[in-house]
Amino acid sequence: MRLPHLFGPATRPFTFVGCLELREILGRRARDARELMEELEQIPAASVYYHTHSIFLRHPRIAGAYPNDFANWVATQVRDQVLAERLAVVDPYMLGGVEELREELVSIVDSHISALNPVPRIVFGDPLSFVRSHLLEVPTGLEATTLPDFRRCLAEVDLSAVYLHTLHARVRGEVAGGDFAHWIGRELGRDSLAAAIGRINPYLGGLAEIRHETLRLIDAELEGDHGNHER
């Protein structure tokens, strides 16, 4: 076991960066599953991202029935429960990127509607309006060089920073388990803690849960340090 004194301050501090999402209405709408498929093929990647990824930024705690807009719209407006479930189970963070996700979604809808004849129109529901995300990064002014510092900053930082460093970091694809895990492993040398943080499932818990779980893991690590030190 590594001794606590080996976990000195990081050479490079962790800089917490938050983000703002500006939402642009594209003026494109889908009125049934076939139009959903056609629009999915054509909308900008930033719109696929808005309806599947950044939903976590808008709903850090409270999710609807399903964790993406397409599944929720199909369930509540199209009233096609089977298609909704098929769309809901796609985890955007397990796919290579937004384009791969787009292909997966198109393929699911295509395969589903090919078995429907005719494709039902919405009777009482509302169409889905497509929106595009513009993400603007804003430094929060919080920096950490040690694990206790990191914990303090994480506990108080705006949740948009949690989004940017965990979920959005996975979309950027530069670091597999997100920025937190990467920095803790690389700069603090706490590989097992980094691995545990990197394994937090981002898809099902929401941002508040990601923060809560990360803090819990750090607290356990710091308690371990304290125990080792006393012994």
Partner 1 sequence: MSARLNSIEPYRNVAPRGTVDFLLRLASRVQGRRFVHVSSTREGGGVAEILNRLVPIMRDIGIKTDWEVIEGDSDFYATTKAFHNALQGKEQVLTEAMLEHYLDVNRANAERLRPAGDLVLIHDPQPAAMIESRAPEGKWVWRCHIDLSTPQRRAWTFLRRFVVRYDAAIFSLPSFSQHLPIPQFLAYPSIDPLADKNRRMSAKEVRKILDRLGVPDDKPILLQVSRFDRFKDPIGVINAYKLVKGYHDVRLVLAGGAATDDPEVAQVLNEVREAAGRDPDICLLDLPANAHLAINALQRAATIVIQKSTREGFGLTVAEAMWKGKPVIGGAAGGITVQIVYGVTGYTVKSVEGCAFRIRYLLSNPQLMRRMGWAGREHVRENFLITRHLRDYLSLLVHLSR
Residues that bind partner 1 (CB under 8 A): 18, 20-25, 27, 58-65, 76, 124, 126-127, 129-131, 134, 136, 138-141, 156-161
**What single-letter DSSP state applies at residue 170?**
H
Closest distance of CB 162 from partner 1, Å: 9
Torsion of CA 47, 176, 67, 163, to 10 degrees: -70
What are the two backbone dihedrals, phi and then psi, of residue 128, each rounded to the nearest 5 degrees?
-90, 125
**What single-letter DSSP state applies at residue 2?**
-
Closest distance of CB 5 from partner 1, Å: 32
- Distance CA(205)–CA(31), nearest Å, equals 30
* Closer residue to partner 1 (CB): 39 or 110: 39
Closest distance of CB 12 from partner 1, Å: 21
* Closer residue to partner 1 (CB): 64 or 97: 64
Structure tokens at 203: 């898809």
* Closer residue to partner 1 (CB): 113 or 210: 210
* Closer residue to partner 1 (CB): 95 or 210: 210
Structure tokens at 2: 């590594």
**135 beta partners:** 21
- Distance CA(92)–CA(90), nearest Å, equals 6
Closest distance of CB 211 from partner 1, Å: 9
Closest distance of CB 25 from partner 1, Å: 4
- Distance CA(93)–CA(197), nearest Å, equals 15
Closest distance of CB 134 from partner 1, Å: 6
Are 57 and 21 in contact by the 8 Å Cβ rule? The answer is yes
* Closer residue to partner 1 (CB): 28 or 112: 28
* Closer residue to partner 1 (CB): 134 or 199: 134
**19 beta partners:** 137
- Distance CA(107)–CA(91), nearest Å, equals 15
